[in-house]
Chain A
């Protein structure tokens, strides 16, 4: 298995000089920048005073944010194509390959023809199939990592499918998906929360303070930034942020690399993805959490790095 994976990685590195690890890091950086700057910080501009210097700063950030957004979209397509290819080549899973490549092809098609009617329904069904196949890929030990984010994406997809089918009273699906999304960092990061450190509570505290001072503004920024409506008790979101902090800090120590990448991509993609790039980020996050022949172990990023690079 490792030989096959190494062959794939070496092939890519040999031909284009890039490793999937590097693409993944580029994707995470671009996606997180787009999320934090374009979708969060710049949208908070409506609450800020606007002297000329602030306006200039926002204009610069807008340009950089647009670049990050385009880069994330481009690299996400490349990364997903590579993932699809590895499913075909290493796992001999043509179904997954076809599902992912069809998703990519349809998303590009929708740049020219807006999704509506049958095409939109087919797209949502393809997403459902891809998610189902990814869950099937998870092992007995890792399903708990995968289940929550996969179910969140699944509920959001079903909700959007229900809109296409013109069904009413499906807001429960949306709310259920948000519940899974909010709990996902806790299920992914429960093993990294101990030993508990005081700084892990800081993001939760910051969220709590902001929410207490101005719940309306916090709610608006949260929905613009992550797609979450904050309908659950705020303690859930605060705890979730603590677990995210724990995962990211542990990743610096090399212990939670895949989980950190997955959580960052999940947050950058947001809940109930509104554009194809956000959906791809969610799928790539799931792939990082799903050990298979495509990702040899849960510490895949570092295992890529530690193997010798071809000349």
Chain B
């Protein structure tokens, strides 16, 4: 009996220590996206490049966002397939999903765009997967199909309504009766959105990806124009979108994510099917999966242990240990009692 109790206590103590030091015992069955190292320039504008076939693909399931209203419970995008490559300076992520229609215009109020987003947490511990939470922000790379189309040719109201008529633009030069281009304005301050570097008013798109930050529902904020450093390329072919996100491994901003070889990062995805009226929070979203740069795992869990170092933090470190110890003792007592129950045939 003493030997049994001691063995049981040993098992429970080992489990408690493993828990406290965040040592994992369960490995992923395949929802880790392994970014392969690539020598040379990444195929940032070619989703069909042979290089993408040299890295493994992971199918990430999506489900409708159903926590906050408004919501669409029957979203169309059920999963995305993800691959990733990196070299010594950049990271590229290729996201593919099935979509029967190409929705890349958002001029009319009844039109909605196809889009896809990649989300990374900005803290060590991944927050709530849907837009983060208060005190734990996430960074988002949001590719938009209409922005992609704008890179080729900027669309405006006159694109959708070719026969539209405008009366007069008093602050514009020229005699055009249709929509006046921003360049025709004598004073750009009469285009306040453009003058304040509002990305949506931008006359020229330099990237189809918007770089944003969020800390919970309703807090989504576009980063400054100078921080729009994520490049993208998307193409729709044979009922499938293929979108590539590309960014440097490191950035200057303190509240943005930097990547390093060998590290593992939580990542989540969201997708919108414009034909289904999906926009804003009405989307398909995934839970956190893992993105690992390279095949060799990073250093031990000790680096990622979130132990506070200040004196008041000792309470926060000690409290879980006290709970664990109490839990262990309770469990041992329970098992001891269960083992004392009379056996039945």
Interface residues of A (CB under 8 A from B): 13, 16-19, 22, 25-26, 29-30, 46-47, 60, 63-64, 66-67, 69-71, 73-75, 77-78, 107-117, 120, 160, 163-164, 166, 216-217, 219-220, 223-224, 253-254, 273-279, 299, 302, 305-306
Contacts and interface: CB of A to CB of B under 8 A. Distances in A.
Contact of A63 (B26, B320, B339): B320
Nearest to B300: A112
A77 B28 contact: no
B242 to A, nearest CB: 14
A29 B8 CA distance: 14
A240 to B, nearest CB: 22
B4 interface: yes
Contacts, number: 150
Interface string B320-345: 10011001100100110011000111
B64 A216 contact: yes
A283 to B, nearest CB: 13
B2 A17 contact: yes
Contact of A216 (B11, B27, B73, B128): B73
A13 B6 CA distance: 12
Q: DSSP majority for the A interface?
A: helix
Interface string B267-299: 000000000000000000001001010011100
Contacts of A117: 56
Nearest to A279: B29
Contacts of B171: none
Interface residues of B, number: 57
Which of the listed residues A77, A109, A111, A253 has the most CB atoms from chain B within 10 Å of its own CB? A111
A77 B19 CA distance: 16
B30 interface: yes
Nearest to A78: B11
A66 B19 contact: yes
A274 B290 contact: no
A70 B18 contact: yes
Nearest to B53: A166
Nearest to B343: A305
Interface string B1-37: 1111111100110111011000111111111101000
B28 A115 contact: yes
A177 B320 CA distance: 39
Contact of A276 (B14, B29, B58, B264): B29
B49 to A, nearest CB: 16
Given A60-B323, A302-B345, A115 B27 contact: yes
Contacts of B344: 253-254, 302
